Amino acid sequence: MLVSNLLSGDPLLEAIADGGPTRISATINQTDPAVAKIQLALLDWDPNALPRFGSDGAYGGETSVAVHRFKRDELLVPEGQIIDDVGPRTVRRLDEIRSVAESQIPPRPPHPIRRDAWNLSAINVCHPILTAYARAVGVLKLNGGPDPRLWWSHHTQVHGMTPDPGDGLRNQCQHFSWFFLPWHRIYLDRFQAICQEIVAADELTPINVRQSWALPYWDYDRSDSNTLPPIFRMSQLGGKPNPLFDEERAPRINNLDNPKVLLATETTARGWFARTQFSAPSPQPSFGGPVTGFHHLNESGAVVAGSLEGTPHGTVHVAVGGATGKMSDFDQAAGDPIFWLHHANIDRLWEVWLASAGLGAGETNRDFLNREFAFAGVGGGAQNIAVSTVVDPSPRPHTYEDLSIPASAGVLPRQEGLVVSEHVSPQRIGAVDQPLVLTNGVAQAVEVAIPDLEVARVSGQGSGRVLLSVEHFTAENPPSTTFGVYIASGPEPEDIWVGNLPLFGLAESMRADGEHGLSFTFDITDTVQSLLATGEWDPASLALRFAPVGEIEDDSVGVGEVEVGSVSILFG
């Protein structure tokens, strides 16, 4: 008679404990549900017993080695007499160990830590924190129960749904707006709380993880982390379909041995880290996005993306989603389980920016803080949540493993201390207003005349910034891609990278009746100054180049045209 909650009542384990004759081994009962339980009890005995596959439910070489060691070191069976299978003494002793572990449940930490998925993967590609997430997603994908327990018909639709059911609870994600970061933060907090409930009750997760689980994050901005974490690329987990796998993703991103690598320009902190303001009136660049009302992108009105929302947020969406993947589409994105780790990272970068002395400053505008968003209540109905409840000084429910400044942030530009007046809007000093057509796979050049740049600079108007604004994207059939913007003036052999134009959201913005909403603004003051310093640039015009970023793996996908309404240079 077994006593631990985990092992007792399992018919196979009870039978073995009673003396058999059946066993568990690499050839007998090797994928019976009892295997995962034995593996968990082995992990209670030695947390490092199964370093590669964890409790994956399959009795393979790693489990056999662990059982062998258990018999030798714990049951003190002489080496020559050990058989690598699970018999009565092994089950009974593991049951005792497990029942002690169950009686010593550690208290829930007040602030669980959101861990780096790649650091976890380096320990064990199927680290218990990751497999616990897989099982929670598996439960949600069953799509049964009250709203917050539904993967497809709740979590995914809250982000985007066409046609909009008009219930005020779906099709809600905020983009190209100062609400981008707080809305996704609330969305993630709620999702994490649901997963925490499932994980806490999950018998197949080690006890310490059940108590302290928080959503991990994917920090793609390092050379050892710029591919999809391996567990997301595995089609099977423990002999069953892996809930974290999604085969519609971009070509090769799921490849186990030779996965697609995200490029440094797609993940860099260079653009967002240097921004001094959380928000600014469109089209000025800012960290978090322009001042707007509710903004899902299918409202009319052109506004620019916040710097963090462009790169790495939008670039990573399209790099992972490609032409056909969920991550490229508002209505599907949250249905790919990597979405939540991507957004946990974006949320982390917000914290990094805030914690960086001299740079980040929380937004204090009352229209921002008092704005409420509706989410389905746990017991039904709607619950309104104000932005002020998820930003400082309101406490956060978790902390992050790493809040250090990303290496790619580079040296701090001289913008530090620059005071930008919200009342002086920068003036257009040059523009190309006939539409520019960008085709995926093809580079496109354009020259913008700016005869008055020198006059403006000398007169010392405004704060002296030079901005490049790329506005009003339209497309019949938007390719899912990112175009890089480069300055091709000057003597450098290489063009100077300015920023990215990720097209995540273009399809949604095309649903607006009025002006099309996708626009990006880049601060090019530093580049212009260094070009002037060379003495070899004629400041009367600026040569620009637009080129697709990353690999186009297959010409049959992702090829399409985008029309850009205007490219302009602003000063002030």
Residues that bind ligand C2O (CB under 6 A): 159, 173, 175, 184, 313, 317, 333, 343
Cβ of residue 93: shortest distance to ligand C2O, in angstroms? 48
Cβ of residue 505: shortest distance to ligand C2O, in angstroms? 8
Cβ of residue 373: shortest distance to ligand C2O, in angstroms? 12
Cβ of residue 125: shortest distance to ligand C2O, in angstroms? 25
Cβ of residue 555: shortest distance to ligand C2O, in angstroms? 27
In contact, 37 and 202? CB cutoff 8 Å: no
- Count of CB atoms situated within 10 Å of the CB of 356: 15
Of 291 and 316, nearer to ligand C2O (C-beta) is 316
Of 275 and 343, nearer to ligand C2O (C-beta) is 343
Q: What is the DSSP code string of 197-227?
A: HHHHT-TTS-HHHHHH----B----STTT-S
- Angstrom distances, CA of residue 146 to CA of 136, 192, 196, 202, 440: 15, 16, 16, 19, 43
Burial class of residue 31, CB neighbours in 10 A (0-12, 13-18, 19+): middle
Of 153 and 530, nearer to ligand C2O (C-beta) is 153
Of 317 and 545, nearer to ligand C2O (C-beta) is 317
Burial class of residue 223, CB neighbours in 10 A (0-12, 13-18, 19+): exposed
- Angstrom distances, CA of residue 90 to CA of 12, 50, 204: 13, 16, 19
Cβ of residue 462: shortest distance to ligand C2O, in angstroms? 33
CA 456, distance to chain mean position in Å, is 41
Instruction: Supply the DSSP symbol for 381.
Output: S
Cβ of residue 419: shortest distance to ligand C2O, in angstroms? 31
Q: What is the DSSP code string of 46-68?
A: -TTSSTTT-S-S---HHHHHHHH
Of 150 and 334, nearer to ligand C2O (C-beta) is 334
Cβ of residue 176: shortest distance to ligand C2O, in angstroms? 10
Of 17 and 346, nearer to ligand C2O (C-beta) is 346
State how far the Cα of 108 lies from the Cα of 210, in Å rounded to an integer. 9
Nearest to 445 by CA among 539, 544, 524, 566: 544
Of 165 and 381, nearer to ligand C2O (C-beta) is 165
Cβ of residue 346: shortest distance to ligand C2O, in angstroms? 7
Cβ of residue 374: shortest distance to ligand C2O, in angstroms? 16
In the structure encoding, which two tokens stand for residue 565, read together?
């309404």
Of 175 and 295, nearer to ligand C2O (C-beta) is 175
State how far the Cα of 91 lies from the Cα of 51, in Å rounded to an integer. 21
Of 306 and 426, nearer to ligand C2O (C-beta) is 306
The residues near 499 (Cβ < 8 Å, ≥ 6 apart) are 271, 310, 311, 484, 485, 520, 522
Q: What are the φ and ψ backbone dihedral angles of 31, each rounded to 5 degrees? A: -125, 20
Of 66 and 346, nearer to ligand C2O (C-beta) is 346
Nearest to 97 by CA among 173, 187, 4, 22: 4
Cβ of residue 402: shortest distance to ligand C2O, in angstroms? 21
Greatest extent of the chain over all pairs of C-alpha atoms, in Å: 94
Helical residues (DSSP H) of 235-391, grouped into ranges? 264-267, 270-273, 307-308, 315-321, 338-355, 366-369
Taking CB positions, which residue lies at the least distance from ligand C2O? 173
Of 238 and 322, nearer to ligand C2O (C-beta) is 322
- Start-to-end CA distance of the chain, whole Å, equals 79
Q: What are the φ and ψ backbone dihedral angles of 535, each rounded to 5 degrees? A: 75, 5
Cβ of residue 177: shortest distance to ligand C2O, in angstroms? 10
In contact, 133 and 196? CB cutoff 8 Å: no
The residues near 487 (Cβ < 8 Å, ≥ 6 apart) are 495, 496, 498, 524, 527, 531, 542, 543, 544, 545
Q: What are the φ and ψ backbone dihedral angles of 561, each rounded to 5 degrees? A: -110, 145
Of 7 and 173, nearer to ligand C2O (C-beta) is 173
Of 183 and 353, nearer to ligand C2O (C-beta) is 183
Q: How, if at all, do strands 466-474 and 518-523 pair?
A: antiparallel
Cβ of residue 18: shortest distance to ligand C2O, in angstroms? 53
CA 34, distance to chain mean position in Å, is 35
Cβ of residue 133: shortest distance to ligand C2O, in angstroms? 18
Of 114 and 175, nearer to ligand C2O (C-beta) is 175
